[in-house]
Amino acid sequence: DFLPLKCDACEQIFCTDHITYAQHHCTSAYKKDVQVPVCPLCNTPVPVRRGEMPDVVVGEHIDRDCKSDPAQRKRKIFTNKCMKAGCKQKEMMKVICDQCHQNYCLKHRHPLDHNCSGAGRPLSKA
């Protein structure tokens, strides 16, 4: 007795005995799974949108938002981004310009190097 049924996740045809995700080892079951994964490090629920892979979302949570000790130790310490347009350099410590009071990398720390718009006039490059 073969009653063909279509899996709503992978859209393949199965009989009534193998229509469940576990029985046919459905590779697209995560699309229909509505469980909320829990971070293994900080034990907080990580929201997953429909169609996203839970493993990927939990991994991103550990890299960005996780409050556990191992995750925080893993993060980079270079968080002070240069404010010069187009520069993506980050420094470990802030380098604040005395005139415009913005943060810059070591290459753009001098007022003439970042076209300073501060109150004082920039001094010569020498």
- Taking only the tens place, the pLDDT of each residue in 74-94 is 656 667 889 898 888 888 888
Torsion of CA 69, 70, 74, 76, to 10 degrees: 0
Q: Is residue 124 part of a domain?
A: no
Dihedral (CA of 93, 98, 100, 106) sign: negative
Query: What is the residue-averaged pLDDT of the chain?
Result: 82
| Residue 100 belongs to domain with CATH number | 4.10.1110.10
Flag whether pLDDT at 33 surpasses 80: no
Residues 84 and 50 in one domain: no
Please, are residues 57 and 37 in contact by the beta-carbon 8 Å criterion? yes
Give the residue, 33 or 6, on which the prediction is more confident: 6
Among 15-29, 33-47, 52-66, 70-84, the least confident range: 70-84
5 domain-assigned: yes
Predicted confidence at residue 16, as pLDDT, reads 84
Q: Provide the pLDDT for residue 104.
A: 92
Give the side-chain half-sphere CA count within 13 A for 40. Answer: 6
Is there a single domain that holds both residue 83 and residue 71? no
What is residue 117's predicted lDDT score, i.e. its pLDDT?
80
What is the per-residue DSSP string for 45-87?
Answer: B----TTS-HHHHHHHHHHHT--SHHHHHHS-S--EE--STT-
Q: pTM here?
A: 0.37
**Residue 7 structural domain:** 1-33
